[in-house]
A = this chain, B = another copy of it.
């Protein structure tokens, strides 16, 4: 029997970090060996998240301790803070999985435009792989520096990739109207996530100006084999978890819903974490709660020749911590679903 992988989480008291700790605690091939938090150093994780009491015990240490004690380091940090940590992990021979944005964009120019900083070490960036297993699995296996996609950038590309790749839809005029649960905004308090101000509310934010836009375009351009630009409008749902992406694209002349369905079945047929819904069903965030599934339903508006692909994920699992574990599994040659056969509750 192989040894348990020692896994560590830097930024463990943020939402993505805490979710990672939960998933790693239940993982059959890994153990949560060390966690760190700048804000809560010296405190046990359960003091921040009382639901973890007597279940998940580690005391928050420093980032250095995590790197020292672990085989794989997950970073759930604000953007800009991962690059030095990644370099340190590379020096120490640790696998590094970044839940932030620092290594997701291939183009330094785009990174500068949307995030405002440069690449500290270009050679390191070139070693980074983009961790969306259902699309880029073979590139991820055995790698040691993995950029874990964000929530929108998982939901939208999974919804559109096969249609673009097969040339069934037009490359221009794509719209991604997305709705996210509040955990996507993180643990940090803001006035618009203060309970009475968000409850019973619903609005869009960063309209056509969200940083995830170029990351989606990067993935979709690979599908199309040519540059793709899309209009992306995120909205904030008054629910805890989930992203629903309603994606619109014009179909190429003569394309039928059956062709689209067949294309998706072929592309995703063997994917454990993608559930193509039967006809008549529509993807719903509630059906993927607390799971690593991405549910997808396909629709065609014949009156306007518009393809509508709707995907649903749990933003904290498939959109963050679960996908990170999936990438760890690929990096270490474990069963890809290890620790991730999570059953979404019905209510």
Contacts and interface: CB of A to CB of B under 8 A. Distances in A.
Interface of A: 15, 18-19, 22, 25-26, 49-56, 172-173, 175, 177, 179, 181-183, 187, 189-191, 193-205, 207-208, 213, 229-231, 233, 235, 237-242, 244, 246, 248, 250, 275, 277, 281-291, 295, 297, 299-301, 303-304, 306, 308, 310, 312, 316, 343-347
A173 B191 CA distance: 36
23 contacts: A15-B346, A19-B346, A50-B277, A50-B287, A51-B346, A175-B306, A179-B235, A195-B199, A195-B238, A195-B240, A199-B239, A201-B286, A202-B239, A202-B244, A203-B312, A207-B310, A208-B306, A229-B303, A231-B248, A231-B301, A231-B303, A238-B239, A290-B290
B200 A241 contact: yes
A203 B283 contact: yes
Q: Which of A53, A193, A201, A316: most chain B Cβ within 10 A? A: A201
Given A179-B235, A204-B283, A231-B248, 11 more contacts: A52-B344, A53-B277, A196-B240, A200-B242, A201-B286, A203-B282, A207-B308, A208-B299, A208-B304, A238-B238, A290-B345
The 9 A-B residue pairs whose C-beta atoms are closest, nearest first, are A208-B301, A203-B284, A201-B286, A49-B346, A51-B287, A177-B177, A51-B344, A189-B189, A207-B299
Q: How many copies does the complex hold?
A: 4
Contacts of A240: 195-196, 199-200, 347
Contacts of A191: 187, 189
B303 A53 contact: no
Given A194-B187, A275-B54, A347-B197, A202 B285 contact: yes
A343 B195 contact: no
Given A233-B308, A238-B239, A308-B231, A183 B196 contact: yes
A297 B300 CA distance: 29
Nearest to A22: B343
Contacts of A15: 196, 346-347
Contacts of A301: 207-208, 231
B208 A310 contact: no
Nearest to A186: B196
A147 to B, nearest CB: 23
B237 A344 contact: no
Nearest to A303: B229
Q: Which of A54, A195, A202, A237: most chain B Cβ within 10 A? A: A195
B193 A51 contact: no
Contact of A248 (B53, B175, B312): B175
A26 B227 CA distance: 45
Q: Which of A182, A200, A241, A281: most chain B Cβ within 10 A? A: A200
A225 to B, nearest CB: 19
A54 B278 CA distance: 11
A292 B183 CA distance: 24
